[in-house]
Amino acid sequence: MELNIHLPTLLLLSVVINLMVGGLLWLVYRLRDLQACFRLWALACVTFVAGIVLAVARSVVDAPLVTELAAHLCLGLSPWLVLAGIHNLLGVPLAGGKKSSRVLVVCAVVYVAGLLVSYAGDTLVPRLLTALWSALVFTVAIYRLASSSRTPRLPFRILQTIFGIHGILMMLQVLVIITSRWELVGLDVNAVLTLILAHHLLLATATVMALPLLAFTQAERNLKLLAERDELTQLLNRRAFLQQGRAAFNQAREQQQGLTVLMIDLDYFKQINDRWGHEVGDSVLSFVATIMAEELRDSDIIGRIGGEEFAAVLNTGSCKEVEAVTERLLRKIAGRGRWVEGRPLNLSASIGGVVISPQTHSFNDMMRSADAAMYEAKDKGRNRVEFAPVSG
């Protein structure tokens, strides 16, 4: 097999690029409040470069402990550091559950023990072990990225694709080593492994360049959440609620679908603040927000629009369904709100609702009608729900 690959040039280029990207990641780490994922990825670049340098030194230094064992330990540590950085960014434990933790630990122990036993003998065995270990780590990384529900998905898919190709190349390397060991197929092993190494170096470089994209998109996502969420309840704030509500209204009107707007106001909330203090009042607001998040669907829009006042947009116009939802909300708030943090608060709420009709002109009109219905509920005794009349 003839390969027009000048391996020393490729190795040098990979070393230079990884050092440059590693330095950039370390600089970002220092500038972004010491975000640990960037430090881990920078160390992954450094260990990858160290592994290449030590492997190259094998041809001029007769010290297998340094050139063989240390090289493969560095090359095995590099993907693990990449995985650790991804877990840090996503805020999940590195190993996941106890079972997966034990599996990773056992595999790591077997890998290191295998290197210790084989590094001074056949050079193909350490390659085989490192390839298997890397394939395992990349498989775990793909699973972690796939199991995350975060958006946008494009950076996740890019890294999953790169890791998938990484894993395939590592398993291909394992297959080549096994077939050559028992002479199952007539292959130029060095030529094939050189080709695999060339692609692996290019993919490793692509990986370290794609990781910051994942981190920056997640940082942008977090900033967007901070801008849209009420700090106390983690529901949508007033601006974000109105924005999403208007979009839902326009869609419902265009597609002639049902839509309901609810206004929920806690009864006698000022008395709770005056008697028990604002800290207890904040706990009550968080408590009610939790109930709303539990009782309403994921597709519904829920927000805190001011003080003790909440609002919700339900993607349904069925009076029976809406009545069931509102009655359940009132029942849960009153039942679970008898005692909050050991205090007899006897919470209740008044709810006003309005259903979209062909005569409804805007989302703001629905908000005003729901608000008026909510005050009507208060006037009629509180702890009840009233609906605005449907325009005929």
- Tell whether 214 is covered by a domain: yes
In the prediction, which pLDDT does 96 show? 58
Q: In this structure, are 189 and 252 located in the same domain?
A: no
What total of structural domains would you count in the chain? Answer: 2
- Tell whether 233 is covered by a domain: no
Q: In this structure, are 242 and 186 located in the same domain?
A: no
Contact 198, 173 (CB under 8 A): no
- Tell whether 2 is covered by a domain: no
Query: Considering 198, 228, 258, which residue would you say is the last residue of a domain?
Result: 228
In the prediction, which pLDDT does 3 show? 46
Q: In this structure, are 223 and 192 located in the same domain?
A: yes
- Tell whether 188 is covered by a domain: yes
Q: In this structure, are 223 and 298 located in the same domain?
A: no
**Non-local CB neighbours of 87 within 8 Å, separated by 6+ positions:** 93, 94, 144
Residues of the chain short of pLDDT 50, as ranges, are 1-3, 392
In the prediction, which pLDDT does 210 show? 85
Supply the DSSP symbol for 135: H
Q: In this structure, are 213 and 242 located in the same domain?
A: no
In the prediction, which pLDDT does 391 show? 57
CA 385/CA 302 separation, integer angstroms: 17
- Convert the pLDDT of each residue in 251-269 to its tens digit: 999 988 999 999 999 999 9
Range of the domain at 378: 238-387
| Burial class of residue 187, CB neighbours in 10 A (0-12, 13-18, 19+) | middle
Query: Considering 199, 228, 257, which residue would you say is the last residue of a domain?
Result: 228
Q: In this structure, are 53 and 159 located in the same domain?
A: yes
Q: In this structure, are 14 and 133 located in the same domain?
A: yes
In the prediction, which pLDDT does 142 show? 92
CATH number for 278: 3.30.70.270
Query: Residues 228, 308, 321, 323: which is the catalytic one?
Result: 308
The whole-model pTM stands at 0.67
Q: In this structure, are 185 and 276 located in the same domain?
A: no
Q: In this structure, are 26 and 150 located in the same domain?
A: yes
- Tell whether 1 is covered by a domain: no
Q: In this structure, are 249 and 208 located in the same domain?
A: no
Q: In this structure, are 210 and 314 located in the same domain?
A: no
- Tell whether 392 is covered by a domain: no
CA 10/CA 134 separation, integer angstroms: 21
Q: In this structure, are 21 and 60 located in the same domain?
A: yes
What single string gives the DSSP state of each residue in 35-101? -HHHHHHHHHHHHHHHHHHHHHHTTT---HIIIIIIHHHHHHHHHHHHHHHHHHHHT--SS-SHHHH
> Is 376 an annotated catalytic residue?
no
